[in-house]
């Protein structure tokens, strides 16, 4: 049995070394990158700078200070997404609509059915946010064919503050005229969409005829307002999300600009 001793001793030494050599820290671990505090601060400063620049861009877009633009700055895509789908946009629409209501209540109507309030439709009465959610919130170049396909669905929801203002104006005795850049060929689906969204009782719905195609929005809408004035209508108020809805000739007594950070129409 003496010859077994060296063998047993060798086994015990091997087991001992095996336990001693085992180290859990040598096992593969997830890769964890820890940025130095200075780098983290620089990243936070960069994020803050981008937000400030996008805040400035949106302010100047709303103030009509920018040259005509085709899409939002790419670095502002996430910013516009958060704004347009969040509480800030809703508050801006509510504020504009509330101020319009206060003004409307201050007006003494003549009572002959000629006191008019004009509304644009897209991003004024109806929201196309479901469409722009699928198209980068304005970071994609506008595709008129795809947008027309969306319009044909007639499912755009109402902007609720605008719907409230709309009904209040009818109760006050205003005639409501809808003046939109949509095509005359979209009259049926537009009418159905408006009714489904809760709108009713408008005086007329004015769309682009074939003769109006190609005209800048500001010229097209100015012409239609001028025609209304020639018919004896008094344009008291005008609500729209584009400056081209509100500027030009035959403007209203007061105009109310609703926010739109997703697109620009001249």
Q: In this structure, is residue 266 part of a structural domain?
A: no
pLDDT at 11: 43
Average pLDDT over residues 169-179: 98
Band (pLDDT 50/70/90 cuts) for residue 207 is very high
Per-residue pLDDT at 153 exceeds 60:
yes
Over residues 10-64, the pLDDT tens digits come to: 343 343 434 444 343 444 455 455 556 655 565 566 678 999 999 999 999 999 9
Q: In this structure, is residue 205 part of a structural domain?
A: yes
Q: In this structure, is residue 33 part of a structural domain?
A: no
In whole angstroms, what is the distance from residue 264 CA to residue 266 CA? Answer: 7
Q: In this structure, is residue 192 part of a structural domain?
A: yes
Q: In this structure, is residue 28 part of a structural domain?
A: no
In whole angstroms, what is the distance from residue 211 CA to residue 213 CA? Answer: 6
Which range of residues forms the domain containing residue 147?
A: 45-257
Given a contact cutoff of 8 angstroms between Cβ atoms, the answer to whether 122 and 180 are in contact is: yes
Average pLDDT over residues 148-153: 98
The number of folded domains in the chain is: 1
Q: In this structure, is residue 12 part of a structural domain?
A: no
Band (pLDDT 50/70/90 cuts) for residue 148 is very high
Average pLDDT over residues 127-149: 96
Q: In this structure, is residue 4 part of a structural domain?
A: no
CATH number at residue 104: 3.40.50.1000
Q: In this structure, is residue 26 part of a structural domain?
A: no
User: Hey, is 90 helix, strand or coil?
Assistant: helix
Of the candidates 71, 54, 73, 61, the one whose C-alpha atom is nearest the C-alpha of residue 140 is 71
pTM (predicted TM-score): 0.83
pLDDT at 137: 96
């Amino acid at each position: 049995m003496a010859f077994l001793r060296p063998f047993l001793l060798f086994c015990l030494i091997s087991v001992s070394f095996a336990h001693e050599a085992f180290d859990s820290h040598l096992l593969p671990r997830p890769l964890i990158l820890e940025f130095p505090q200075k780098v983290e601060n620089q990243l936070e400063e960069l994020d803050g700078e981008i937000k400030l620049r996008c805040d400035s861009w949106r302010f100047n877009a709303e103030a009509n200070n920018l040259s005509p633009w085709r899409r939002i700055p790419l670095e502002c895509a996430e910013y516009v997404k958060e704004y347009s789908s969040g509480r800030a946009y809703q508050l801006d629409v509510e504020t504009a609509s509330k101020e319009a209501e206060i003004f409307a209540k201050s007006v003494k109507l003549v009572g002959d059915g000629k006191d008019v309030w004009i509304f644009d439709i897209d991003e004024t009465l109806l929201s196309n946010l479901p469409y722009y959610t699928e198209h980068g919130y304005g970071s994609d170049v506008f595709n008129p064919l795809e947008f027309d396909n969306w319009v044909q669905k007639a499912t755009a929801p109402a902007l609720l503050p605008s719907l409230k203002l709309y009904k209040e104006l009818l109760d006050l005795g205003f005639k409501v005229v809808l003046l939109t850049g949509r095509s005359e060929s979209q009259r049926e689906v537009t009418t159905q969409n408006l009714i489904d969204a809760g709108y009713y009782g408008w005086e007329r719905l004015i769309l682009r005829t074939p003769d109006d195609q190609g005209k800048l929005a500001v010229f097209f809408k100015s012409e239609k307002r001028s025609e209304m004035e020639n018919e004896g209508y008094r344009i008291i108020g005008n609500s729209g999300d584009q400056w081209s809805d509100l500027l030009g000739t035959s403007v209203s007594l007061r105009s109310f600009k609703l926010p739109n950070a997703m697109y620009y129409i001249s």
